[in-house]
């Protein structure tokens, strides 16, 4: 179980990579990464103790393989490999080349099927998708283009279908329908046309709602940059997309980057609106919740305590928003 899982934090693909690191460590060394005598000490070791490098247990392990396993066993999810594809590429040099002879075993294995055959060249995971609508994959912008009647009707029909799919919580199908529409509309209007950007923003939101944070993240990043070129860094669409990108990173366990982006967006909102605007309050709460989920109770209190004071002044002690933050602070004071 990964360190973040022992704290009941968000489970992400990086949590699975930690488990893979534990498995590889045990396969290569014959020993578990940690072996605390009690369950609580065992989880505490996963949260805080350094794993013993493989070469200290088995000197013949290649140094690069040892480094990869240690990276998989990093305490912070964002310090682990980006995805399974990166791990595959890291392990590939240690696999037999295509067509290599089977490893020689003892005489007792003579005539037995080769159990390593299926692992000689396993199928690589699919590479990450490029963000939809990037300049390399979409037509060049045509800002002067306008929507004709047939195109408007086609967009309206697909949006009706998408809304029906969303009502049925069929998020993958809704995102696919929007992607096909985006391909068609951008061919006429250009990738940076406001209508195309709006459709892409809706698709990214659908992916997010459906829990596909890995696909929605590059979309929000690219959309934020596209909107910033016309609205400036404080534009409403820029703020919305950068905040959603931070939400994606938080869900994916990229805590350090998510916190940095939250603080960046919060600074922009403070300058544009105030520290107590609705969006600012939501982001302050997100920062506090993320810090608390990562076990950084002190910093979480430093964020949530002034937020609670602001909420009491704005809404009083009985408002649901006030009570929610008060409960978050109360939970920080409970040992566990």
> Domain limits at 72?
3-95
- Residue 53 maps to a domain: yes
The CATH number of residue 73's host domain is: 1.10.510.10
Closest CA to 175 of 224, 226, 229, 214: 214
pLDDT at 269: 95
Domain count, the chain: 1
- Residue 19 maps to a domain: yes
Task: Quote the strand ranges of 184-295, DSSP E.
Answer: none
Angle CA 212–215–220, to nearest 5: 110
- Residue 309 maps to a domain: no
- Tens of pLDDT, residues 124-144: 455 555 555 554 444 444 444
Q: Which two tokens stand for residue 144?
A: 């002067």
Closest CA to 2 of 57, 79, 92: 79
Rounded Cα distance between 56 and 70, Å, is 12
Is residue 36 within 8 Å of residue 42, measured between CB atoms? yes
Residues in the chain: 336
Q: Which residue has the tokens 């929007």?
A: 178
- Residue 235 maps to a domain: no
pTM of the shown model:
0.66
Q: pLDDT under 50 in the chain at which residues?
A: 124, 135-145, 336
- Residue 68 maps to a domain: yes
Torsion, Cα of 79, 80, 83, 86 (10° steps): 100
How far is residue 148 from each of residues 61, 151, 162, 236, measured CA to CA in Å? 65, 5, 21, 28
Rounded Cα distance between 235 and 242, Å, is 11
- Residue 77 maps to a domain: yes
Rounded Cα distance between 80 and 70, Å, is 9
Please give, one letter per residue, the 3-state secondary structure of 114-179: CCCHHHCCCCCCCCCCCCCCCCCCCCCCCCCCCCCHHHHHHHHHHHHHHHHHHHCCCHHHHHHHHH
- Residue 76 maps to a domain: yes
pLDDT at 141: 45
Is residue 65 within 8 Å of residue 87, measured between CB atoms? no
Residue 111 gets the label, from left (phi > 0), alpha (psi -120 to 50) or beta, of left
pLDDT at 115: 60
- Residue 14 maps to a domain: yes
């Amino acid at each position: 179980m990964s360190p973040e899982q022992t704290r009941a934090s968000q489970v992400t693909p990086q949590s699975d990579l930690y488990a893979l690191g534990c498995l590889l460590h045990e396969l290569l060394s014959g020993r578990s990464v940690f072996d605390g005598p009690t369950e609580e000490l065992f989880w505490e070791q996963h949260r805080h103790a350094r794993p013993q490098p493989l070469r200290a247990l088995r000197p013949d392990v290649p140094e690069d393989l040892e480094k990869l396993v240690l990276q998989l066993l990093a305490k912070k999810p964002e310090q682990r490999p980006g995805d399974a594809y990166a791990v595959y590429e890291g392990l590939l040099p240690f696999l037999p080349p295509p067509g290599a002879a089977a490893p020689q075993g003892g005489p007792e294995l003579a005539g037995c099927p080769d159990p390593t055959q299926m692992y000689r060249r396993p199928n690589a995971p699919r590479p990450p998708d490029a963000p939809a609508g990037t300049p390399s994959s979409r037509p060049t912008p045509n800002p002067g283009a306008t929507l004709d009647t047939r195109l408007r009707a086609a967009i309206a029909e697909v949006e009706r279908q998408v809304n029906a799919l969303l009502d049925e919580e069929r998020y993958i199908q809704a995102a696919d329908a929007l992607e096909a529409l985006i391909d068609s509309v951008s061919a006429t209007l250009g990738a940076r046309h406001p209508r195309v950007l709006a459709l892409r923003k809706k698709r990214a939101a659908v992916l997010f709602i459906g829990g596909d944070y890995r696909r929605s993240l590059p979309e929000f990043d690219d959309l934020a940059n596209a909107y910033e070129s016309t609205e400036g860094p404080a534009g409403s669409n820029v703020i919305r997309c950068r905040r959603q990108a931070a939400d994606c990173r938080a869900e994916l366990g990229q805590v350090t980057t998510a916190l940095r982006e939250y603080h960046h967006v919060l600074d922009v909102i403070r300058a544009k609106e105030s520290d107590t605007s609705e969006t600012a309050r939501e982001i302050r709460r997100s920062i506090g919740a993320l810090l608390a989920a990562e076990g950084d109770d002190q910093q979480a209190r430093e964020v949530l305590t002034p937020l609670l004071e602001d909420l009491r002044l704005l809404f009083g002690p009985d408002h649901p928003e006030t009570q929610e933050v008060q409960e978050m602070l109360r939970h920080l004071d409970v040992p566990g």
